[in-house]
Structure 1
Amino acid sequence: MQAASLQLLARFKDAPDWVTGIAIALAIVPLSLLYLRGSMRLYKDFPMMALVEDGLDPKESWFQKGPKTIQEGLRRYRGRPFQVMTGTGPKLVLPHRFAEELKTNENLSHNGAFAKDFFVGYPGFGPIADSLIPELIRTKITPALGLITDDLVDETTAAIQDILGENTEWHEVSIKQDVLKLVTRLSSRLSLGLPKCRDDRWLEITKDYTVHLFASARELRQVPSLLRPFVHWFLPESTRLRRDYQDAQTFITPEVELRKVRARKALEAGEKASKTADVIGWMYELATEKGQKVNYVDGLLEIGLASIHTSTEAITSALLSIVAHPEILQPLRDEVISIIGSEGWSRQTLYKMRLMDSFLKENQRCHPPNAISMNRLVTKDIKLSDGSLLKPGTRFIIPNVYTDPEIYANPEEFDPYRFLRKREKPGQTNSWQHVSLSSSHMAFGYGNHACPGRFFASTEIKIAIAYLLLKYDWIPTTGDEQPGTLVFETNTLVRPTAKLMVKRRKEEVALDCYGARQGFEHI
């Protein structure tokens, strides 16, 4: 019903005002019925959480103080499930102990949960829909990380030079914006390869699309659900998103068609589609194997969405933590100098950067971009161990437990060596890596729907941090110890305006050489 109403409105969006008015009147009737049937219906038998002591109702509590709402709810209801009122309706908050029993439950949907939060079906939000990309990442991209690592090093070399340059004097930069440019370059290198990945127009489109999609989703969540099908046509961020999406289709479709022809000819000849990182070729292979149709442009945008937003936040946050804790700077540099200086770049040498690995995992723990994980939609009845019944259509989230003293000693302390020490214990070598999954550290999710791109993300982040630390010195801007954060719902993100002081330094090893080789030149 909602989809039909959206289609009706879409047909008349460019019509005269009086025609659009009639279309809205016709569309509002079925949408009103949908709303009255209970699109925002509360879950029976579960209390609703609100920060009434702060003068906030349930929805205001979620939007303005999401992390506090979660933590206060866990305290107030003493480990029992409760519900919160999000911008897209109620969700259950299940305490951390349920993560283990639900991690492999087949009656849960990850895509179904996100579809409502990211308005699948609205123009411009297509790449959020279910697709081949998660399987592509698992079966094509992750196994090819050895090949991809060289590409990422090469692209980082070029991008760092273009973005930060050679200025040896202290100067101020908008660090999150510069990191966003860097990550966009790396993501595009994976998606398109040379030379198309460096096209300024494509870089602008894919960067803007990612930024505008998340901004548009935030904007729409604050609009009453009954009004969204109408007002999204006029909201600034939604308008920008539709423009970005159309620009992407226009710009990249000719390249996609060329790559598809190349991939088809290779497969017909009994060859692999490409001996280089070629996401379009891999998409064609996978779609052919499964006999499915695929929207290649949507797939490229989805890869950008999956990597640009999260990796930008991770790298920016990590760099700010190093500036705030300068005692860790030289040990991190020494590790990179030692490993890359003797062995060069490869997937294996990145694995050996154990201190950086530990530092990145600790930074996720101390500065999580989101207070919750395991965002799921129930597809069939599930009975929890405490007797609670989750009915189909129920959406739930599980909070992170990064400050629980029973799990982490001195949880308020930023300890870059925390996970390095854990890995040194017998039998724990692989249990506490940056990409390792556990219910006590769900930065990359947990269970069947954990982030499949975490291996690529960790590779990309480590290479970027190594370059930023060895090629540049960093200090806070004058009078500003740490840039602030932006809190929205359960997200706590570095402000887009965050700034640092930077200057070029002489790196101790030749980072710009790449490939696994012995005896890198020390300079």
Structure 2
Amino acid sequence: MRYINSAQGQTLYVPPSFCPSTMSFASTFDSFSLRDITKLLTYLTSGVVLSLLLQSFSSAFRLRHIPTESSSCLPLLSSKGAYFFLRDIKGVFQRGYDKHKGKLFKVSFPDRWVVVVTGRKLLEELQRLPDGTTSFMHAAGELTGTPYIFGNGMVEDPWHVPIIRDKLTKHLSAAFPDIYDEIDTSFKELMPKCEDWTPVHALQVARGVVARASNRVFVGLPLCRNQGYLSLLVRFAVDVGRTRNVLAWFPSALKGIVAKMVTQVEPRIKEGMQYLGPVIQQRTDDAQAFGDGWAKPDDMLQWIMDAVAARNGPHEDILRGIFLINFAAIHTSSNTFTHALYHLAANPEFIGPLREEVDAVVAEDGWTKAAMGKLWKLDSFMRESLRHNSTNPFSVRRMALKNFTFSDGTVIPQGTVVVTPPYATHFDEENYQDAAVFNPWRHVNEKKQDGDASRHQFITTSTTYVAWGHGKHACPGRFFAANELKIMMAYVIASYDVKFEREGVRPKNVHVALTISPDPEARVLFKERKSARI
């Protein structure tokens, strides 16, 4: 496999110059003994722990009117609560949902109490609250550590969201040929020869394909095929996912300190400048040289460059934006694809109907965006997979910016984080008949029954389907992600037969704190289809 190294000849970055004040500050400790320093650290630690306890008890007191599920105190103070958070947060939500369906309850996270909304009525009320009353970005930031990993600016001024929601979504039709070409090329280069049944590390391949296909739109050729750049993006996505789970165990007062200790964002940004720096500089020079006559590139990198320039931000902010969007694309989409692939491999009988549809549509319309819109069975299969395998244990996240009251009289104090549980919602028999059964044709049958095609699409949200969130703050990148995922799955269906060595047995998902992922070690058996329509 050949890659173009765009970093050749690039100027190396030099660490900041020596600061005498640092040495002067450090030298003040010379007069302290080891015992003095130990005492000081002990006092500081005790003070922090005491303040956190007071904060947690204060929060519990303010929410005392809301029923509690799980432990009676923060998980850090309870081994049982810690276990539930680390390994069974899905079960905690489910038990609370079963007891308090249609109402609210609260669960303890390591750093806070989280209020959980259940039922269609209250969830609809939550998502309709104005932004001055609740904030999605602040809730997401507190639950996933975004401001501590990427900087608080991404929460206070989420300039990247309109770029994803508006520019990227509108660009899908124009970008489709490039996305398909990159998916086709990626599978051919990343997959082994599968003339007979061959085990493949599915999640690893999925990450590679998603990274390349996404960056064909984000930064274009040749950088989207640069091995060093792609490796950096995948490592970054894994780093951020790991950091999110670490930060979840610390209170807000300590998250910033811990993030600097465990996250690799700043080193990754410096490394990323080796690849993106020359491209950014070349585009900046061209814009100055040609003015209105410059043929401005129409891609994510340029949209982010324009947004950062409008805010007089540094080039590092361009990297932060690219990396943040790549994290969402690689982490979420590769997991979602692998979940669906595991369902397909565990149930090879699904392949026949799906392949019949893909072959017929592609024969008529080719590999086009219009063709993807006609793949109703595939769309239903992907929606059903995401119903069974949400990427997070909570959805429709909001933080109360001021006190508000639900219609049932429950008061939510300012600063409270409110969520809804996707698994409990998706496995509610009132929402889905035989909810625990994986029915790949469930949603296409619903389309036929009520005649409303858009209501049951992969990307459509509702109070009973919250995998993408719901309402105006639903995932802004779901249109791009769904398009990419459907192309990838249609490509696999057209090109390969797949199965597990133990037929009918799907590997169990891995639950660790705030992350739900497909088994990262599972291997899927692939066999090339001789009459593939690609």
One of 334, 338, 349 as aligned partner of 1:316? 338
The 2-side partners of 1:169 and 1:298 are apart by: 43
Q: Is residue 128 of structure 2 the alignment partner of residue 111 of structure 1? A: no
Q: Which residue of 1 aligns with 2:278?
A: 254
The 2-side partners of 1:493 and 1:450 are apart by: 21
Q: Which residue of 2 aligns with 1:38?
A: 55
Q: Which residue of 2 aligns with 1:279?
A: 300
Q: Which residue of 2 aligns with 1:363?
A: 385
The 1-side partners of 2:166 and 2:293 are apart by: 19
Map residues 337-348 of structure 1 onto 2, 5 A cutoff.
337-348=359-370
Q: Contact 2:135–2:401 (CA<8 Å) still a contact in 1?
A: yes
Q: What code does the residue aligned with 2:55 have?
A: G
TM-score w.r.t. length of structure 1: 0.85
The 2-side partners of 1:327 and 1:65 are apart by: 32
Q: Which residue of 2 aligns with 1:467?
A: 491
Q: Contact 1:472–1:504 (CA<8 Å) still a contact in 2?
A: yes
The 2-side partners of 1:313 and 1:344 are apart by: 27
Cα gap change, 1:357/1:16 in structure 2, threshold over 3 Å: closer, same or farther? farther
Q: Which residue of 2 aligns with 1:3?
A: none
Q: Contact 2:395–2:469 (CA<8 Å) still a contact in 1?
A: yes
Map residues 185-204 of structure 1 onto 2, 5 A cutoff.
185-204=212-231
Cα gap change, 1:478/1:17 in structure 2, threshold over 3 Å: closer, same or farther? farther
Same amino acid, percent of matched pairs: 25
CA offset at residue 479 of structure 1?
A: 7.9
The 1-side partners of 2:312 and 2:395 are apart by: 30
CA offset at residue 351 of structure 1?
A: 0.7
The 1-side partners of 2:154 and 2:87 are apart by: 25
Q: Contact 1:48–1:58 (CA<8 Å) still a contact in 2?
A: no
Map residues 291-302 of structure 1 onto 2, 5 A cutoff.
293=313, 295-302=317-324
Map residues 50-449 of structure 1 onto 2, 5 A cutoff.
50=70, 57-97=80-120, 98-106=122-130, 107-122=133-148, 129=155, 130-223=157-250, 232=259, 234=261, 238=262, 240-262=264-286, 268-269=291-292, 273-274=296-297, 277-286=298-307, 293=313, 295-400=317-422, 401-449=425-473
CA offset at residue 77 of structure 1?
A: 3.5
Cα gap change, 1:404/1:263 in structure 2, threshold over 3 Å: closer, same or farther? farther
The 1-side partners of 2:395 and 2:150 are apart by: 25
Q: What code does the residue aligned with 2:199 have?
A: E
Q: Equivalent residue of 1:415, what SS?
A: coil
Q: Contact 1:168–1:503 (CA<8 Å) still a contact in 2?
A: yes
C-alpha deviations, 1:141-181, integer Å up to 9, x for none? 11110111111111011110111043312221211111111
Cα gap change, 1:99/1:137 in structure 2, threshold over 3 Å: closer, same or farther? same
Map residues 498-517 of structure 1 onto 2, 5 A cutoff.
498-509=522-533, 511=534
The 1-side partners of 2:289 and 2:377 are apart by: 46
Q: Contact 1:374–1:397 (CA<8 Å) still a contact in 2?
A: yes
Q: What code does the residue aligned with 2:230 have?
A: L
Cα gap change, 1:358/1:263 in structure 2, threshold over 3 Å: closer, same or farther? farther
More off after superposition, 351-360 vs 416-425: 416-425
Q: Which residue of 2 aligns with 1:47?
A: 67
More off after superposition, 132-141 vs 21-30: 21-30
CA offset at residue 225 of structure 1?
A: 6.4
More helix by share: 2
CA offset at residue 440 of structure 1?
A: 0.7
Cα gap change, 1:17/1:386 in structure 2, threshold over 3 Å: closer, same or farther? farther
Cα gap change, 1:247/1:118 in structure 2, threshold over 3 Å: closer, same or farther? farther
Cα gap change, 1:142/1:225 in structure 2, threshold over 3 Å: closer, same or farther? closer
CA offset at residue 213 of structure 1?
A: 0.5
Q: Contact 1:383–1:390 (CA<8 Å) still a contact in 2?
A: yes
Q: What code does the residue aligned with 1:372 have?
A: F
Q: Contact 1:119–1:125 (CA<8 Å) still a contact in 2?
A: no
Q: Contact 2:348–2:498 (CA<8 Å) still a contact in 1?
A: no
The 1-side partners of 2:102 and 2:280 are apart by: 51
Q: Which residue of 1 aligns with 2:521?
A: 497
Q: Contact 2:362–2:371 (CA<8 Å) still a contact in 1?
A: yes
C-alpha deviations, 1:445-469, integer Å up to 9, x for none? 1012101111100110011111112
Q: Contact 2:232–2:272 (CA<8 Å) still a contact in 1?
A: yes
CA offset at residue 61 of structure 1?
A: 2.1
Unaligned runs of at least 5 residues, structure 1: 1-10, 512-523
CA offset at residue 28 of structure 1?
A: 5.9
Q: Contact 1:93–1:396 (CA<8 Å) still a contact in 2?
A: yes
Q: What code does the residue aligned with 1:385 have?
A: S
CA offset at residue 222 of structure 1?
A: 3.2
Cα gap change, 1:126/1:395 in structure 2, threshold over 3 Å: closer, same or farther? closer
Cα gap change, 1:27/1:201 in structure 2, threshold over 3 Å: closer, same or farther? farther
C-alpha deviations, 1:308-357, integer Å up to 9, x for none? 11111111111111112222101111111111122112222111111101
Q: Contact 1:50–1:56 (CA<8 Å) still a contact in 2?
A: no
Map residues 11-30 of structure 1 onto 2, 5 A cutoff.
25=41
One of 476, 480, 488 as aligned partner of 1:452? 476
Tell me how large the CA RMSD over aligned residues is. Answer: 3.2
Q: Contact 2:136–2:473 (CA<8 Å) still a contact in 1?
A: yes
The 1-side partners of 2:348 and 2:514 are apart by: 29
Q: What code does the residue aligned with 1:207 have?
A: V
Count residues in correspondence: 490
CA offset at residue 217 of structure 1?
A: 1.5
TM-score w.r.t. length of structure 2: 0.83
Cα gap change, 1:18/1:185 in structure 2, threshold over 3 Å: closer, same or farther? farther
Q: What code does the residue aligned with 1:66 have?
A: I
More off after superposition, 294-303 vs 241-250: 241-250
